[in-house]
Amino acid sequence: MRIIIGLTLLVFSLAAEAAQVAVHAVRYWTAPDHIRLVLDTAGPVVHNLFSLDNPNRLVIDLENVRLDSRLSDPTVSNPYLKGLRSGVQNGKDLRLVLDLKQPVRPKSYVLPPSGGYGHRLVFDLFESQGGQPRQPVVTVEQSIKGGLRDVVIAVDAGHGGEDPGALGTRGVKEKDVTLAIARRLADRINREPGMKAVLVRDGDYFIPLRKRMSIARKHHADLFVSIHADAFQDKRARGSSVFTLSRKGASSEAARWLAERENSADLVGGVSLDNKDDVLASVLLDLSQTATIQASNDVAHQVFGELSRVGNTHGSRVQQAGFMVLKAPDIPSLLVETAFISNPDEERKLVDSTHQGRIAGALMNGIRDYFHASPPIDTKLAAMLRGKRQAATGGNYPTESNEPRLGQTEVDPSANGRQGQVTEREKPRFPFDG
Ligand SMILES: [Zn+2]
């Protein structure tokens, strides 16, 4: 009899165990404005989340879940997390307690398996309202007050964090390669007189596509360059490609901007759309998009030409596609597939620092050629180039030797008037100014 009871208990506990979902691990990602905590689970999980204060804690209850390994602790440098504790509840549930350094605003969701990861439960923790923003944002007023400004290039390293992007046959992840090349490109841009880089992503964390665009807009970028590495089933596919936004992608985005303009304080090309009637708003938007697409194609053409000098190109010209990150209506944007990570030969090159430097150099050359031909009118670069041209044609503008150092002396961009040899095109993001 005792044996039968023992067996029954064993069967029951095995059944309970089988029904429980295992948590394998926890991963932490730190982004500039939030941290992400990811639980790797054996299957979908039902969870409940609540905050406690004195001291600040976040409690995560997971139904019918067990731990099958020890969860790692957050690092000491984690901006929001002090520690992670776990305990069993009701004999079958798991409770996780996050000890916090400050109150947070949590968001949670479930992710299905993808990109080499299995089921995941994701927690994004943002600084709760009232806290000090950790990254001060430069406003338009501040950037204009300083007189002439730098040409701003937003450099966007594709993917990141939970999204590894494409994977090479040796396990190289697209997100790592794109960040390495983006950082090299940003370094080069920052060494160029009159230019400044903004890294849209500067670490291993995920940024949604629309957020990438809005980071570029917040910094008043003159150009948005998204860096990727391609993948294809045929491992022989190779070479780099450059994409700009297709006309179809632009018109679907225009529809979205027009539909949402009442609820949005966003400016397009420096102009608000929300007080315009439908026809005027759509004409303004279309003008901005047309100028932006034209500028995008010009710079993409330069970049493609430079890339073809350092290696193979995939296809013979710049291509058009509806990629989300290219859709800002007033920032010329391009997406560069640097090489095929699925091609073992190119995968090897993509992690080679010399080759990364070559790609960054090619991108820099294309970007420089474009902006030297068409500097935005209110920039130091425009003033500098005008000064050089004046010197070359014998004008009394500062010559090479007595030219004011950039950023120290203001050069009035209007002092020179619009004479025959001044060929600056209007900055594409303000096609309907004045
Ligand atoms: Zn990609």
Q: Check whether 420 has a pLDDT greater than 70.
A: no
CA 228 – ligand 1 centroid, Å: 4
Indicate the fold that domain 140-373 takes in CATH.
Aminopeptidase (3.40.630)
Separation of CA 188 and ligand 1 centre (Å): 22
CATH number for region 20-127:
2.60.40.3500
Delimiting residues of CATH 3.40.630.40 domain(s) in the chain: 140-373
Summarize pLDDT for 353-390 with one digit per residue, the tens.
999 999 999 999 999 999 999 999 999 999 999 888 87
Structural contact between residues 17 and 119, judged by C-beta atoms closer than 8 angstroms: no
Protein residues near ligand 1, an ion, with CB under 5 A? 158, 165, 228
Distance from the alpha carbon of residue 378 to the mean position of ligand 1, in angstroms = 34
DSSP per-residue letters across 391-409? HHTT-SS--TTTPPPTTTS
> How much distance in Å is there from the Cα of 316 to the middle of ligand 1?
20
Q: Rounded mean pLDDT of the chain?
A: 81
* 381 C-alpha to ligand 1 centroid (Å): 32
End-to-end CA distance of the chain: 95
Cα–ligand 1 centroid distance for 227 (angstroms): 7
How remote is the CA of residue 206 from the centroid of ligand 1, in Å? 12
Task: Delimit the CATH 2.60.40.3500 region(s) of the chain.
Answer: 20-127
Spacing, Cα 237 to ligand 1 middle (Å): 15
pLDDT digits (tens, 9 = 90+) for 99-145: 999 888 888 888 878 767 888 888 888 888 654 444 444 444 444 44
Q: Phi then psi for 52, rounded to 5 degrees?
A: -130, 150
Ligand 1 centroid, distance to 165 Cα (angstroms): 5
- pLDDT of residue 265 exceeding 90: no
Task: Please give the distance, rounded to the nearest whole angstrom, from the Cα atom of residue 243 to the centre of ligand 1.
Answer: 12
Expressed in angstroms and rounded, the spacing between residue 144 Cα and the centre of ligand 1 is 34
Give Dmax over CA atoms of the chain in angstroms: 111
What's the pTM value of the predicted model, to 2 decimals?
A: 0.69
**Tell me, what DSSP letter sits at residue 324?**
G
Report the share of the chain in percent with pLDDT over 70.
79
Is residue 290's pLDDT more than 90? no
Residue 206 has pLDDT above 80, yes or no: yes
In this predicted structure, what is the pLDDT of residue 283? 81
Task: Please give the Cα distance from 188 to 186 (Å, whole number).
Answer: 5
String of b and e for 31-70 (b: at least 16 CB within 10 Å)? beebbbbbbbbeeebebeeeeeeeebbbebbbeebbbeee
- Inform me whether the pLDDT recorded for 400 exceeds 90: no
